């Protein structure tokens, strides 16, 4: 995130409820007691496969504070050591994650429970200990790992094999030859994990996203593998692809790997491989301990020149086919090692346009990057299902990209992104050690000589890990600041050595580095509340260029989630006291309160009368702001002058229960921000422009659309119609093209101060394909551009939307039915109807799927939601969800809205 001097930009970003998250590593422990001691943790001993090329992940650890363990490292790391009183931990676990799973502390997502966890417990090293068994010692063994936070001394069977100076940094990759130490039967590996300080270590920190975890994520957060193999090891297997663009009719594949002789004698290895039906092989002579590059090209393997290749596309632009590479190294006909890599065939380009903004294209087709910032769980707990749910939500929102500022997720994350066509923008984080050498007096220690090789090794490891994933479209080697010449050279050398295939970006801010040049991005905010009209100006954070992180700040969750995360006293303060420090916002002094947001909410909608009224007004405010953000960037994407090329909403989600920077909350509930984004990014969309009152059609589909009819109608809040105009024969090109269908006049006779605008787009057959309803004012927001700060632009007078408070309450009926779907899912269909007898519409009517106790069923994907209906109108919505999440109950749908009485209807 961005900060300006002194206040600094962000000091900070789940899985579902704590009880569910405690199961993340459930497979790591056995059901019965450890045979050595009933007091020892129930950590499963890992049986290691013997097959050449196998890689077995340790299934879990016993962990304990070094302050509680007086024994020598040699004893702790030897088989048979009685780890009585130690805690079980999963295969990927920070210290605090393990303690939470063991019930040591209360739910850290509720109230100020996180604050009550003593930091002193994590100021000393912690031991991680795991046993594994090997049946056959004839194969060689390597310990292969990354993800150590912050550093570790490593021991195997009583012997130290690496120290913390060697094993430092969350992203560095390590392969330790332990062949001479491994024995048949039980073996032990132990890590003494050093405490983490993101300002001093090249690891991970939370900046101002959330209240930081007391252990600062110290632990092991990626798999530790025991690799087995013969005399020759295969490493660094990957495929370099060259797609013929724009024809897409052919592609050249170059297969690369390294063969490493593990022995003291010369050997000749045969390296053979296959991609689909194409096979290839060559002999590789290797001197003692020699490593040699092995390459297969289309010139020596004609089959590596593909005709009509299966091309990988981002979601919504085409399919996501993947190819698989399999390699085997054999010696004297006996397999010695194997390697497998999945990869996609696609081309990514991102030149700077005439305005200096970075413009991405995939396979020759230009696209507007519509993204959001990704956050992992605060305690770095991996839950594949929860990650998949969030990626599906991102697709449901019409997004095509997630940005990972640091916190670069495990391999499975990128496998899922490849599968779903979700583009990713990984990069290093700001505001701590990663930028300490280049960010002046801001947070983060300057680098020592020891930091440069750690940073280069981190870049090399992540480049090798991510290069074959077609979802990865760049690496940002800086965030708020670009690297200096020395740091950049190390990064670029590592990227080049890894055959990095996509654009390297100097920074997420408007910075440059000596070789990479201008970033082509801007980080101009805002990070706090601004009015919806802000987004249409081609200045600051408005819709021009590529804005790498931006949003209107706070996002107040639904009442259901607020009750799960805050005490009654905190909820009372939430709506009554804008000046109060909000623990669930940020540790930052800039973002610690909701003062700016609350002033706007009261100024535009009227002072809240209670918690329910506060939340109800918040949902309208968040809907209109997020919708405007994406709509403005979408409208301006094809402008001839200073077009918008990318926008990353800050953020997609939070790593804990938060009051800001999220389009969905910690429990995957959906409010105004979610459905505002979903509306703005629908494939064929009609929208209103706050700056010039134009009614615009944006087509995010590839094919052009013709024969459309666009209609705009203005109403007073009592439903009285004051203006109506229709444009027929509207046509719009594809791939993000836009056309102006008509323009609303600047003055309409008889219009109330607060009024409604209903936009409807119909296809050639008269079917409604897009509906968009706005609540507007004849008294617009006044933006004080001259006093823009790094995190927001002040508003000196507010639009008057208080007329919404006088809208008549109207009844909305609902009929609900449910059917079973594939893969354990169900679909509930809801038909809503405005049964009012007058003229007043039901504004932003929300349908919430609930269980027998009235609790939201989550995750859920709605076809549409928060709809506005005029008397006699109806809308049919569908909700898809996991059947098991109902726990056998009949689903219900809770209907509510701005002026709709709440009621729950059960499915038939």
DSSP string, 693-753: -EEEEEE-SSS-EEEEEEEEEEEETTS-EEEEEEEEEEEE-SSSEEEEEEE--S--TT--S
* Cα-only R_g, the chain: 29
Residues in the chain: 908
* Spatial contact of 323 and 344, defined as CB atoms under 8 Å apart: yes
Residue 581: CA count within 13 A, CB half-sphere: 9
Classify burial at 441, counting beta carbons within 10 Å of its beta carbon; exposed 0-12, middle 13-18, buried 19 or more. exposed
Distance of CA 906 to the CA centre of its chain: 34
Confirm if 344 and 470 have CB atoms less than 8 A apart. Answer: yes
Integer Cα distance of 631 and 629 in angstroms: 6
Catalytic residue among 480, 488, 528, 598: 480
Strand partners, 255: 239, 296
Which residue among 131, 347, 549, 781 is the active-site one? 549
Q: What is the three-class DSSP state of 358?
A: strand
Cα separation, 654 vs 13, whole angstroms: 4
d(CA 233, CA 238): 15
- Considering only CA atoms, which of 807, 553, 833, 797 is closest in space to residue 673? 553
Q: Quote the CA–CA distance of 641 and 656 in Å, as a whole number.
A: 40
Beta-strand pair 795-797/684-688: unpaired
What kind and span of H or E run contains 831? Answer: strand 825-834
In the three-class reduction of DSSP (H, G, I as helix; E, B as strand; rest coil), residue 273 is classed as strand
Tell me the CA distances in angstroms from 290 to 54, 261, 281, 339, one per residue in order.
22, 5, 20, 19
Catalytic annotation on 480?
Answer: yes
549 is catalytic: yes
DSSP 680-695: HT-SEEEEE-TTT-EE
β 361-362/348-349 pair status: antiparallel
Q: Is the dihedral of CA 715, 720, 725, 728 positive or negative?
A: positive
> 10 Å Cβ neighbour count for 38?
10
On the 0-12 / 13-18 / 19+ scale of CB atoms within 10 A, 344 is: buried
CB–CB of 628/775 below 8 Å? no
Report the C-alpha gap between 443 and 729 in whole angstroms. Answer: 57
Tell me how far apart the alpha carbons of residues 14 and 896 are, in angstroms, rounded to a whole number: 27
Q: What's the sign of the alpha-carbon dihedral 536, 539, 541, 544?
A: positive
Euclidean distance between CA atoms 862 and 866, whole angstroms = 10
Phi, psi of 218, deg, nearest 5: -65, 140
Beta strands in 157-249 (DSSP E): 159-162, 174-177, 185-193, 219-220, 224-229, 232-243
CB of 856 within 8 A of CB of 850? yes
Neighbours of 887 (CB within 10 A): 10
Catalytic site positions: 480, 549
């Amino acid at each position: 995130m961005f900060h300006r001097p002194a206040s600094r930009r962000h000091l900070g970003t789940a899985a579902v409820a704590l009880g569910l998250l405690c199961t993340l590593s459930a497979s790591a422990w056995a059901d019965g007691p450890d045979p050595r001691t009933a007091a020892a943790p129930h950590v499963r001993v890992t049986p290691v496969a013997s097959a050449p090329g196998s890689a077995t992940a340790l299934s879990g650890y016993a962990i304990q504070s070094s302050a509680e363990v007086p024994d020598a490292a040699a004893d702790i790391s030897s088989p048979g050591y009685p780890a009585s009183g130690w805690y079980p931990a999963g295969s990927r676990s920070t210290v605090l994650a393990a303690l939470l799973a063991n019930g040591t502390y209360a739910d850290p997502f509720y109230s100020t429970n996180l604050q009550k966890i003593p930091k002193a417990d994590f100021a000393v090293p912690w031991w991680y200990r795991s046993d594994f068994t090997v049946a056959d010692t004839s194969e060689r063994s390597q310990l292969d790992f990354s993800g150590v936070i912050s550093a570790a001394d490593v021991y195997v069977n009583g012997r130290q094999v690496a120290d913390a100076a060697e094993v430092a940094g969350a992203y560095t990759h390590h392969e330790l030859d332990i062949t001479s130490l491994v024995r048949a039967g039980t073996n032990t590996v132990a890590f003494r994990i050093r405490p983490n300080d993101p300002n001093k270590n090249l690891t991970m920190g939370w900046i101002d996203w959330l209240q930081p975890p007391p252990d600062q994520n110290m632990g092991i957060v990626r798999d530790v593998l025991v690799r087995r193999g013969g005399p020759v090891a295969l490493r660094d297997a990957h495929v370099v692809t060259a797609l013929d663009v724009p024809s897409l009719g052919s592609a050249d594949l170059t297969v690369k790997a390294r063969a490493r002789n593990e022995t003291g004698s010369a050997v000749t290895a045969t390296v053979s491989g296959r991609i689909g039906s194409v096979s290839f092989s060559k002999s590789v002579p290797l001197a003692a301990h020699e490593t040699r590059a092995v390459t297969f090209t289309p010139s020596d393997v004609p089959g590596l020149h593909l005709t009509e290749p299966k091309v990988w596309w981002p979601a919504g632009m085409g399919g996501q086919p993947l190819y698989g590479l399999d390699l085997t190294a054999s010696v004297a006909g006996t397999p010695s090692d194997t390697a497998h890599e999945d990869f996609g065939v696609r081309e990514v380009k991102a030149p700077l346009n005439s305005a200096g903004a970075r413009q991405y294209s995939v396979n020759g087709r230009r696209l507007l990057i519509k993204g959001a910032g990704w956050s992992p769980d605060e305690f770095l707990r991996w839950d594949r299902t929860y990650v998949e749910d969030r990626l599906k939500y991102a697709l449901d929102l019409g997004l095509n990209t997630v940005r990972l500022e640091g916190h670069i997720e495990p391999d499975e994350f990128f496998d899922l992104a490849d599968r779903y066509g979700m583009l990713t923008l990984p990069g290093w984080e700001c505001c701590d050690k990663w930028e300490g050498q280049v960010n002046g007096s801001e947070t983060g220690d300057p680098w020592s000589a020891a930091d440069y090789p750690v940073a280069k090794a981190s870049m090399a490891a992540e480049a090798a890990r991510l290069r074959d994933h077609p979802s990865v479209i760049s690496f940002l080697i800086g965030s708020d600041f670009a690297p200096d010449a020395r740091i950049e050279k190390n990064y670029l050398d590592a990227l080049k050595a890894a055959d990095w295939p996509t654009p390297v970006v100097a920074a997420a801010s408007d910075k440059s580095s000596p070789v990479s040049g201008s970033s082509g991005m801007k980080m101009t905010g805002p990070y706090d509340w601004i009015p919806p009209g802000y987004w249409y100006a081609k200045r600051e954070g408005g819709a021009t260029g590529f804005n790498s992180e931006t949003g209107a700040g706070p996002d107040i969750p639904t009442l259901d989630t607020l009750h799960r995360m805050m005490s009654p006293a905190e909820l009372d303060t939430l709506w009554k006291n804008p000046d109060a420090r909000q623990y669930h916002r940020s540790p930052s002094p800039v973002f610690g309160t909701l003062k700016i947001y609350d002033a706007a909410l009261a100024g535009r909608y009227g002072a809240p009368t209670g918690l329910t009224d506060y939340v109800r007004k918040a949902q309208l405010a968040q809907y209109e702001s997020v919708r405007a953000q994406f709509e403005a960037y979408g409208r301006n994407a094809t402008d001839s002058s200073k077009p918008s090329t990318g926008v990353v909403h800050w953020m997609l989600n939070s790593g804990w229960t938060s009051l800001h920077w999220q389009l969905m909350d910690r429990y995957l509930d959906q409010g105004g921000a979610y459905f505002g984004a979903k509306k703005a990014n629908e494939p064929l969309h009609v929208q209103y422009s706050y700056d010039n009152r134009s009614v615009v059609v944006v087509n995010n589909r590839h094919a052009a659309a013709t024969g459309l009819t666009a209609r705009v109608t203005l109403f007073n809040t009592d439903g009285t119609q004051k203006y109506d105009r229709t444009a027929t024969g509207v046509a719009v090109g594809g791939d993000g093209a836009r056309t102006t269908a008509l323009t609303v006049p600047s003055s309409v006779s008889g219009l109330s101060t607060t009024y409604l605008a209903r936009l409807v787009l119909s296809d050639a057959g008269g079917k409604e394909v897009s509906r968009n309803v706005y609540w507007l004012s004849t008294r617009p927001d006044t933006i004080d551009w001259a006093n823009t700060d790094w995190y927001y632009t002040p508003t000196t007078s507010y639009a008057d939307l208080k007329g919404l408070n006088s809208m008549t309450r109207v009844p909305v009926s609902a009929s609900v039915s449910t059917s079973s779907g594939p893969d354990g899912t169900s679909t509930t269909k809801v038909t809503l109807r405005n049964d009012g007898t007058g003229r007043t519409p039901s504004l932003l009517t929300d349908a919430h799927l609930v269980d027998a106790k009235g609790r939201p069923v989550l995750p859920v994907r709605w076809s549409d939601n928060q709809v506005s209906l005029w008397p006699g109108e109806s809308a049919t919505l569908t909700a898809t969800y996991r059947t098991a999440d109902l726990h056998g109950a009949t689903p219900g749908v809770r209907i509510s809205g701005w002026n709709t009485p709440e009621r729950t209807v059960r499915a038939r």
